């Protein structure tokens, strides 16, 4: 019995620590895609191209035209707890998706990762890490931006590999993540391509020419992602309470579904699945829908980052609001108002 013998206390090496962290951050190919696309958005990318093969198991590549990484920073990008996004002085004031500096070292510990990048006006360089072992930085040729290539995810942790589902199921999960992130970023163009020929082949969400109107851009993007049927059967929502803003589109009661599949909620641009928010949504529609019907919505709550804790878990999509009651009230009254107004318009149109 190994427990009976007292073993000396040892400090784990970085590779082991990163593999353990990877177990939390990276559950499946879709979670790797999420981390890489969020990094691209954080880098200010206008175009993001995601390629996968075999459901992302053998290949995930995310290319962006964002700010890039300087050659001397490449080893740091792969180091644990190294980030350009916060300085650690205020963990409540977070304006980016990332801030932990965990994703790239984790991915590099459980797969074969290459980062090729060029910062504006700088030299292009690349670095590779495989199973936690980092190679030297070397020059390469490319335009401004970053391409991260992740091959053979979980080759270094075969137990994880066994838990992955079929290529088709994993590809579908990747598609879902890309769609959800694309919904909140109408000004960014997204392409998702399955280079192994399976899945959906290729999906592109074009960034509409900016008219300057948030709702036009959002309507265009949501129409591409959720279908025109949704945007044609939804009302725009725009309500503010005590500095917290609710925007988006709420499906008409007549366009409801038998399940909650089409409920997309975002807090400060992050897709969330939060019980309080879903409860508020149910409350808002309760006078308009029977209990077995579910509305289709894409709603965005934006507030001071200090008013919401996104720090709950790296991969989980729960959030904690400081003023949950205000957020709840905002959703219930904002949606009811928008729906009642739409109902009023519809009835006056019929009457007139
Ligand atoms: P985090 O996003 O929490 O900072 P990551 O491990 O995801 O941690 O990334 C580490 C760092 O690498 C980031 O802080 C950023 O400086 C840099 N980086 C990662 N991806 C990109 C990218 N696509 N474009 C520019 N910089 C990037
Ligand atoms: Mg990150």
What confidence tens digit (pLDDT) does each residue in 235-277 have? 999 999 999 999 999 999 999 989 888 999 999 999 998 899 9
Mode of pairing for the β-strands spanning 189-194 and 47-53 = parallel
Give me the CATH number covering residue 250: 3.30.230.10
Contacts of 225 (CB under 8 A, 6+ apart): 179, 182, 183, 205
**Residue 60 lies inside a defined structural domain of this protein:** yes
Confidence of residue 349 (pLDDT cuts 50, 70, 90): low
- For residue 49, the ligand closest to its alpha carbon is 1
- Interface confidence: ipTM more than 0.90: yes
Q: What pLDDT does 352 receive? A: 41
Confidence of residue 299 (pLDDT cuts 50, 70, 90): very high
pLDDT at site 318: 81
Question: What are the tens digits of pLDDT across the range 24-38?
Answer: 788 999 999 999 999
> 42 with 158, same domain?
yes
CB contact at 8 A, 77 and 98: no
Kindly state whether residues 235 and 199 are assigned to the same domain.
no
Q: Count Cβ atoms below 10 Å from residue 333 Cβ, excluding itself.
A: 15
Where does a domain end: 145, 171, 205?
205
Kindly report the protein residue whose alpha carbon is nearest to atom 2 of ligand 1.
98
Asked whether residue 90 is domain-assigned, the answer is: yes
| 211 assigned to some structural domain | no
User: Which element (helix H / strand E) includes 200?
Assistant: none
Sheet of strand 234-241, all strands in order from the earlier edge strand to the far edge: 234-241, 244-251, 297-302, 263-267, 270-272
* Cα first-last separation, the chain: 84
- CA atoms of 300 and 58, how far apart (whole Å): 34
* Same domain assignment for residues 137 and 192: yes
Tokens in use for 305? Answer: 């980052």
Q: What is the pLDDT of residue 198?
A: 63
φ/ψ of residue 44, rounded to 5: 80, 25
Q: Are residues 265 and 330 in the same domain?
A: yes
Q: Does residue 307 form part of some domain?
A: yes
Report the pLDDT averaged over residues 45-62. 97
Range of the domain at 85: 14-205
pLDDT at 312: 64
Specify the number of domains making up the chain. Answer: 2
Ligand 1 geometric centre to CA of 139 (Å):
19
Taking only the tens place, the pLDDT of each residue in 201-229 is 889 999 877 677 889 999 999 999 999 99
CB-defined site of ligand 1, < 6 Å:
35, 39-40, 43, 64, 66-69, 77, 83-85, 98-104, 146
Phi, psi of 59 (to 5 degrees): -150, 130
The pTM score is 0.93
- Distance from Cα 344 to the centre of ligand 1, integer Å: 48
Model confidence at 78: pLDDT above 90: yes
Is the pLDDT at 343 greater than 90? The verdict is no
Residue 313 has pLDDT above 80, yes or no: no
Instruction: Report how far ligand 1's centroid is from the alpha carbon of 253 (Å).
Output: 42
Which of 173, 205, 237 marks a domain boundary? 205
Q: Specify the ligand 1 atom closest to the Cα of 97.
A: 2
Q: Mean pLDDT, to the nearest integer, of 78-102? A: 88
User: 238 to each of 84, 214, 333, how far by Cα in Å?
Assistant: 33, 11, 11
């Amino acid at each position: 019995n190994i427990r009976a013998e007292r073993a000396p206390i040892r400090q784990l090496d970085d590779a082991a620590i990163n593999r353990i962290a990877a177990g939390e951050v990276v559950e499946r190919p879709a979670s790797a895609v999420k981390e890489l696309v969020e990094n691209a958005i954080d880098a200010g990318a206008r175009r993001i191209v995601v390629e996968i093969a075999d459901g992302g198991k053998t290949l995930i590549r995310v290319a962006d035209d964002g700010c890039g990484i300087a050659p001397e920073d490449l080893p740091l990008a792969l180091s644990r707890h190294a980030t350009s996004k916060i300085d650690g002085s205020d963990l409540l004031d977070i304006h980016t998706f990332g801030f932990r500096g965990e994703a790239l070292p984790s991915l590099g510990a459980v797969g074969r990762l290459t980062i090729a990048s060029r910062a504006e006006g700088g030299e292009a360089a690349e670095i590779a890490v495989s199973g936690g072992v980092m190679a030297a930085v070397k020059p390469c040729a490319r335009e401004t931006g970053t391409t991260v290539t992740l091959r053979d995810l979980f080759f270094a942790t075969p137990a994880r590999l066994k838990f992955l589902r079929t290529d088709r199921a994993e590809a579908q999960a990747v598609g879902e993540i890309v769609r959800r992130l694309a919904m909140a970023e109408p000004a960014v163009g997204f392409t998702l391509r399955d280079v192994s020929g399976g899945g959906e082949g290729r999906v592109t969400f074009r960034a509409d020419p900016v008219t300057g109107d948030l709702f036009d851009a959002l309507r265009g993007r949501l129409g591409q992602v959720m279908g025109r049927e949704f945007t044609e059967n939804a009302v725009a929502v725009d309500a503010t309470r005590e500095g917290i803003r609710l925007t988006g589109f709420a499906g008409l009661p007549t366009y409801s579904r038998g399940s909650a599949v089409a409920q997309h909620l975002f807090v400060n641009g992050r897709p969330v699945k939060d019980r309080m928010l879903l409860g508020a949504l149910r409350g808002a529609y309760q006078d308009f829908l029977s209990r077995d019907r579910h509305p289709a919505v894409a709603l965005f709550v934006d507030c001071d980052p200090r008013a919401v804790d996104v720090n709950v878990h790296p991969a989980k999509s729960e959030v904690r609001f400081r003023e949950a009651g205000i957020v709840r009230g905002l959703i219930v009254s904002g949606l009811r108002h928008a729906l009642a107004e739409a109902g009023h318009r519809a009835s006056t149109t019929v009457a007139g």
